[in-house]
């Protein structure tokens, strides 16, 4: 089990994005309609969730919900204890989810499926959630790593590794990243969107938000996390956080954090 380090005295560019799998648990919140570039599993540890999506409109009730990357959704988990898992789409686990879910963008689960997921958590207890996550994925029918990973352009793969390993103040200009991909800027932009599912600039903004979120989970002040992640100020970070997560950055502090580096 890896807990996020205390993030004090941060310098600009010192942050890394959060790991491939990040799980939190604690009291639920009500989110506004939002979308983020990650797989998102929300499991009610007690009670039920209300889920809304942009395309379906009406509220659905369920005990768990899994949403695909960049899918607009809102969840009301008020008064419910929840397990929330964020999964990087470009990771092995993310590839497994893409295979398991196919073309579906959202899956609302009833009590029977949720009970299977809850039993995997209960086997380990919340303190052992990191060890329980593989069992949760197995109960969802996910092979980790998948038998046949999603195909991505090799140049884009190099850029993704570079971006996630590098500091927040690294050169992320189109020209610099195209050189790493060994492609022309125009070809790189096309290959990136085709491989990742979103254009380059929204993905870079998502990485900034990940860096800020990891710092906040580690105990950094909002202003400190915003500055280190490259936002103009805490207000800009908060607006972006609300748009991509549907809640404020301070809501992240209200839950116990646990990270599994997948």
Please check whether residue 218 lies inside any domain of the structure: yes
Please check whether residue 198 lies inside any domain of the structure: yes
Please check whether residue 189 lies inside any domain of the structure: yes
Please check whether residue 28 lies inside any domain of the structure: no
Q: Cα separations (Å) of 60 from 76, 104, 106, 111, 158?
A: 10, 16, 11, 13, 40
Please check whether residue 204 lies inside any domain of the structure: yes
Q: How many independent structural domains does the chain possess?
A: 1
pLDDT, tens digit, for every residue of 75-94? 999 999 998 888 889 888 88
pLDDT, tens digit, for every residue of 211-243? 888 888 777 889 998 988 889 899 999 999 988
Please check whether residue 202 lies inside any domain of the structure: yes
Count of CB atoms situated within 10 Å of the CB of 102: 8
With beta carbons less than 8 A apart as the criterion, state whether 133 and 21 touch. Answer: yes
**Residue 221 belongs to domain with CATH number:** 1.10.10.60
pLDDT, tens digit, for every residue of 111-164? 888 898 888 888 766 566 667 777 888 887 776 555 555 678 999 999 999 998
Question: 178 is in which domain, residue-wise?
Answer: 154-234
Please check whether residue 170 lies inside any domain of the structure: yes
Q: What share of the chain is helix, strand, coil (3-state, %, to 5)?
A: 45, 20, 40
Please check whether residue 186 lies inside any domain of the structure: yes
DSSP secondary structure string, 91-146?
A: SHHHHHHHHHHTT-SEEEE-HHHHHHHHHHHHHH-GGGHHHHHHHHHHHTT--SS-
pLDDT, tens digit, for every residue of 29-77? 899 899 999 999 999 998 899 999 877 667 889 999 999 999 999 999 9
């Amino acid at each position: 089990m890896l807990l996020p380090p205390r993030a004090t005295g941060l310098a600009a560019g010192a942050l890394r994005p959060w790991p491939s799998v990040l799980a939190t648990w604690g009291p639920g919140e009500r989110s506004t309609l939002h979308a983020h570039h990650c797989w998102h599993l929300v499991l009610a540890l007690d009670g039920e969730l209300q889920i809304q999506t942009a395309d379906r409109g009406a509220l659905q009730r369920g005990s768990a919900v899994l949403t695909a990357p960049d899918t607009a959704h809102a969840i009301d988990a008020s008064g419910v204890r929840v397990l929330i898992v964020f999964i990087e789409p470009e990771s092995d686990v993310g590839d497994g989810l893409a295979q398991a879910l196919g073309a579906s963008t959202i899956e609302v689960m009833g009590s029977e499926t949720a009970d299977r997921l809850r039993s995997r958590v209960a086997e380990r207890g919340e303190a052992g959630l990191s060890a329980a996550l593989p069992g949760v994925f197995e109960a969802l029918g996910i092979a980790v790593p998948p038998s046949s990973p999603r195909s991505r352009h090799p140049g884009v793969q190099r850029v993704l590794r570079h971006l996630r390993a590098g500091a927040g103040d690294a050169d992320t200009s189109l020209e610099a990243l195209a050189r790493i991909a060994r492609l022309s800027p125009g070809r790189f932009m096309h290959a990136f969107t085709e491989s990742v599912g979103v254009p380059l600039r929204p993905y870079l903004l998502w990485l900034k938000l990940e860096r800020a979120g990891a710092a906040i989970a580690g105990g950094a002040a909002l202003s400190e996390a915003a500055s280190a992640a490259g936002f103009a100020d805490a207000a800009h970070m908060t607006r972006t956080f609300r748009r991509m997560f549907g809640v404020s950055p301070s809501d992240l502090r209200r839950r116990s954090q646990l990270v599994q580096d997948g």
